[in-house]
Amino acid sequence: MNHTILLVKIVTPPIKSSFKDGFYVTEMQVKFVPIKTKLNFNDVIHLSIWDNLSSDTVKYYKVNEYIIIEGYISIRENLFSLSNYSNSNQISISVTNLYPVFQKSFCNTL
């Protein structure tokens, strides 16, 4: 299965949009937080958050906060590439659950 649980840092503000049938989706970009401090992982991950969880995400989460996400991984064409001839793919995760990380105790460990 392609189910995952990750600790990530929010790098773009959550943007909420809606469809004609009343469904809501929030999209944002995050970075993976490696456990080992010597690893340098600069790839940005795209998150799609649906319905009720979508509204809560816009309301409670901001840029530079850490969250734990649970969801399903997929690969999609990189829509945020600056070069026109780049043929790279991007990791996308459809989020099923989202958990806050309390900054005060966590920031001292990174």
* Domain 3-107: top CATH class: mainly beta
Residue 85 reports pLDDT greater than 60:
no
pTM: 0.77
Structure token digits, residue 61: 């989460």
pLDDT at residue 80, as a whole number: 54
Q: How far is CA 1 from CA 24, 51, 94, in A?
A: 26, 23, 14
- What confidence tens digit (pLDDT) does each residue in 38-57 have? 666 667 889 999 888 988 89
- What confidence tens digit (pLDDT) does each residue in 54-84 have? 888 999 999 999 999 999 998 877 655 555 5
Structure token digits, residue 92: 């996308």
pLDDT at residue 9, as a whole number: 92
Instruction: Answer for the pair 73, 27: CB distance below 8 angstroms, yes or no.
Output: no
Q: How far apart are CA 21 and CA 66, in angstroms?
A: 32
